[in-house]
Amino acid sequence: MAVAALVLGIVSIVFSFIGLFWLGLILGIVGIVLGILAKKQNPTGMATAGLVLSIIGVVLCALVFIACGICFGGTVGLAACA
């Protein structure tokens, strides 16, 4: 489970940079759950790294999602004014 959490955290971070932030958000949440379970079962450094990377991935994906929403809302507002 620790390896899965680590992989999902890395993939979540990559997806936040290539524009698939919605998929990265889902994978990051699954990575957090797996990281917590792995840390309870066998507290190793890999479980901690998977948990940390998954949290970073979720935060990055959420920030990109919010930034895209603000940009889209701003362009809709500008188009309505014209």
What is the per-residue pLDDT for 70? 84
Task: For the beta carbon of residue 45, count every other beta carbon within 10 angstroms.
Answer: 8
Name every residue whose Cβ is closer than 8 Å to that of residue 22 and which is 6 or more positions away in sequence.
61, 65
Range of the domain at 10: 2-81
What is the per-residue pLDDT for 6? 94
The structural domain count of the chain equals: 1
CA distances from 55 to 32, 44, 45, 61 (A): 6, 17, 15, 10
pLDDT in tens, the chain (82 residues): 989 999 999 999 999 888 888 899 999 999 999 999 999 998 889 999 999 999 999 999 999 888 888 887 766 666 656 5
Structural contact between residues 57 and 28, judged by C-beta atoms closer than 8 angstroms = yes
